[in-house]
A and B are shown apart, each in its own frame.
Chain A
Amino acid sequence: MTAEMMTGNLAAAWGARLADVDYVPAFPITPQTEIVETLAKWCGSGSLNARFVTLDSEHSMMTAAGAAAATGARVFTATSSQGLLHAFEVLYTVAGWRVPLVLVNVSRALASPITLEPDHNDVLAARDCGFLQLHAETCQEVVDSILLAYRIAEDARVCLPVMVNLDGFVLSFTREPVTLPDPEVVKQFLPPFRPAHLGFTASAPRSLGTAVFGGATYSYFRHQLHLASLNGLRVYEEAAADFERLFGRRYDPVEQYRMDDAEDVLVMTNAFASKGKAAVDAARAQGRRVGLLRLRMIRPWPAETIQHALQGRRAVAVVDQNLSPGQGGILFQEIAACLYHEALRPRALCSFIGGLGGKNLSEGEFQAIFEQTADAGVRGTGIGPVLLFTESEHREVEQLQFLAHELKTGR
């Protein structure tokens, strides 16, 4: 297959098409709309043999998705930001049903104030709902991750829904070369969905997610969900190995970029990790021994791989493109927690908050991150959370505030 120029959204639609899904419940939201528009077009033309249904909200959409998956259909759906939050109640519910559907989230910062550009407070808010999470850096990775997602989701050791994340604008509307997997080879990688524990008929009704009281029964099922998610680590490794064998592209749960001799390490996720890699290249050209660790799999949390990658480093800087108000970076907390018992844990952990609402991370800011992280490593004390913001950005915002309020008191 040859490459073609494709947006992240079109790549996501191709992921669903190549997975030969049966059912697509949909509700549009910027910057996800191109995904469902494309699938609607393909379902209409017959190039995708699936039932496309528009629902009245994301809450209904996720309910329909879970219910259809419970009948044994292969289900795809997609949302973003406010839409994901509107579906929130149902995310937990369908994860408890143990239905293996795939949901694409196109990251967009949350209101308010309202915006359209990306950060990860939306997808990370769904961190604890039971969905597995894969976060993509490139358009190629979007289509490939959706295929991997179905493979893991449908494995009897997991049987959980999977969320695949891509950044709005920076990936969703960005075209770059994508090589589509050969549909015939996809059939080898992803055999038809024949779930043993799902599917029902009118003559054999069943209830899912039934009421349980007294705590012990509830705990049992929640423990099962947790163990299923943890199984995802092993199942993912197997799937990724198969994927590499069939398609030649390797996706580890975490990607290590120029890490071999790196004394300081930048930890990032999603599309801005590309900028992080460029910054690593620039810093290395100046003689800094730095590398980048990109987290691809957020749930289950690949703790051992992360520990192994970060042990013995001088300093680690986590760049969170999210903010938990009153706390700081969400992923920083998780990185810190999984390094606590490491004898060779880094001398300093640094927390940076950057790229909120799609704010650019400039070369200069990366340079500042590397400098502050190196200093922290030498001192042996961590820093942060550092809220990345430049003086010139501050001046621009002050100017906007002046305009927003001046007219009232003025003429």
Chain B
Amino acid sequence: MLSIRFHGRGGQGAKTASRIVGTAAFLEGYHAQDSPVYGAERRGAPVAAFTRIDHSPIHERGVIARPDLVVIADASLIRDPAARVADGVDERTVVFVNSSLSPDQVSVQAALPGRLTALDLTGIALREFGKRGAISALLGAVAGRLSGLHRDSIRDAVARELADLGLSSAVIERNQAVALDCFDQVPVVSVEPGGPRPAPPVQLHRPTYDAPTKGTASITVGPNSGLRSMSGWRTFRPVLRPDLCNGCWLCFANCPEGAITIKPDGKPAVYYPHCKGCLDCVEVCPTDAMTVEREPQGVQP
């Protein structure tokens, strides 16, 4: 069985990528299974998705604890402990990172034990599509290539899955072309499907009673969400051009995190430590005063 784990941020397309690979494998006659996992659906939050491929019916479900291939849609996830990208990664795991850095640079900075490969899918998407958006087709194509799936089945699977999302045929065709470019370009590190490996021994814990102050689910920090830094979630950041701002406050009203405040002069200001980079403010701005800048790529120490 080949086990592929995708890590992305809500809205990037990790789930659709897992489906593209699942469908491509299914079209090639394999047994396939794909599934996502996420909490409260929230753009920018870490999400994971799983694809399993086998010659025989699959008797596994849920999370993939020991992946053969890990696909990381956003390099910022590597240093986000909540994303758990390193879980079960060992020397034989192939790890793909969407990064503008070279595989060697990523390898040095990510400090993951797996065999790394990288390609700047976000850069390619910006160049080819001229705007930021989901990179599901590109991720799916790269994962398909690394899994040894065929170009034709990836092309078909991209069409099926993007059509399922209601995209127009022009958009789908463009995605197919760019995805297949990524399929051809990604530096290949061959994935070897995991044979039966002995299960890692597990130490069981016997739960004991704790005082209710500890044993009930509660958070005792007061202004919890406002203090939480979410700057690591951003692939892009909104940047205000005050000269274009008409002071309508739509960005302030629409920010789902309350990360935009209004200054005494009536103009908005983005509080970057709490901005997750969803760019809802950019979408609602009627004067295009809220612009987009790509966050520096790579794994910052």
Contacts and interface: CB of A to CB of B under 8 A. Distances in A.
Interface in B46-86: 58-63, 65
A390 B221 contact: no
Contact of A391 (B19, B61, B205, B217): B205
B22 A5 contact: yes
Interface residues of A, number: 45
Contacts of B212: none
Contact of B202 (A176, A272, A362, A407): A362
B202 A174 contact: no
B62 A365 contact: no
Contacts of B65: 360, 362
Contacts of B196: 282, 285
B26 A408 contact: no
Interface stretch (B27-35, B110-118, B235-243, B282-290): B27-35
A169 B39 contact: no
Given A169-B37, A391-B204, A175 B19 contact: yes
Interface string A355-388: 0001010111111100000000000000000011
A138 B182 CA distance: 34
Interface string A205-224: 00000000000000000000
Nearest to B36: A173
Contacts of A5: 19, 22-23, 26, 32, 34
A247 B222 CA distance: 59
Contacts of B222: 408
A112 B36 contact: no
B61 A274 contact: yes
Interface string B9-33: 0000000000100110010000111
Contacts of A313: none
Nearest to B161: A5
A170 interface: yes
Contacts of A278: 59-60
A278 B199 CA distance: 12
Contacts of B264: none
Q: Which of B36, B60, B202 has the most CB of A within 10 A?
A: B202
Interface string B202-226: 1111110000001001111110100
Q: Which of A176, A275, A277, A391 has the most CB of B within 10 A?
A: A176
Nearest to A389: B205
B204 A368 contact: yes
A177 B196 CA distance: 24
B61 A170 contact: yes
Nearest to A271: B61
B165 interface: no
Given A174-B34, A175-B35, A360-B65, A274 B200 contact: no
A204 interface: no
B202 A367 contact: yes
B6 to A, nearest CB: 14
A281 interface: yes
B203 A275 contact: no
Given A5-B22, A407-B221, A389 B59 contact: no
B22 A175 contact: yes
A405 interface: yes
Contacts of B221: 404-408
Nearest to B224: A407
B219 A404 contact: yes
A67 interface: no
A139 B261 CA distance: 47
Interface residues of B, number: 39
A268 B135 CA distance: 39
A363 B39 contact: no
A390 B61 contact: no
B26 A177 contact: yes
Contacts of B207: 387, 389, 394
Contacts of B200: 363-364
B219 A177 contact: no
B227 interface: yes
A387 B209 CA distance: 13
Contact of A364 (B201, B217, B220, B227): B201
Interface string A391-405: 111100000010011
A363 B199 contact: yes
Contacts of A277: 59
Contacts of A360: 62-63, 65
Contacts of B59: 274-275, 277-278, 281
Interface in A42-87: none
Contacts of B214: 401
B220 A405 contact: yes
A173 B35 CA distance: 6
A22 to B, nearest CB: 28
Contacts of A173: 35-36
Nearest to B215: A401
Contacts of B36: 173
B33 A175 contact: yes
B34 A390 contact: no
Contacts of B224: 407
A358 B62 contact: yes
A360 B84 CA distance: 15
21 contacts: A5-B32, A169-B37, A170-B35, A174-B35, A174-B61, A175-B34, A272-B61, A275-B62, A360-B62, A362-B199, A363-B200, A366-B199, A387-B206, A390-B202, A391-B202, A391-B204, A392-B203, A393-B205, A394-B205, A401-B214, A404-B220
